[in-house]
Amino acid sequence: MFEIEIVDDGIVSVDGRLDAAQAVKAQNFLDQVEGQCVLDMAKLAYVSSAGLGVLLKTHKRLMASGSGIKLINVNNHIHDIFRYSGFDKLFEIVPASD
């Protein structure tokens, strides 16, 4: 299961598992986003390299116009994957509070 939507305050919320089977759905959604994008990962349980590729492509596109993606509520496991992949140096990341 994977869901992506814009919630009330303009934040993009992702929920479930962002794997290779769901990467196209995520990319199609994020291709429509313009300007600064805040991605709430509080409900994201899992991400693979296919999901990282979606985030990288979108971040590059938005950075080209002076904005980018900010990731909030990132859990420990996903934060580990960002660190291993060096993405923690490319994205602004706010870890989950617990």
Q: Which residues bind another protein (CB under 8 A)?
A: 17, 19-21, 46, 48-50, 52-53, 56-57, 59-60, 63, 77, 81, 84-86, 89-90
CB of 15: closest distance to another protein in angstroms? 15
CB-based contacts of 65, cutoff 8 Å, min separation 6: 34, 35
Q: Which of 15, 89, 84, 19 is nearest to 49 (CA)?
A: 19
Q: Minimum Å distance from CB 2 to another protein? A: 10
- The b-or-e profile of 17-26 (16+ CB within 10 A means b, else e) is ebeeebbeeb
Query: Nearer Cβ to another protein, position 28 or 85?
Result: 85
Residue (6 or 42) nearer to another protein, CB:
42
CB of 63 or CB of 96, closer to another protein: 63
Minimum distance of another protein from residue 57's CB (angstroms): 8
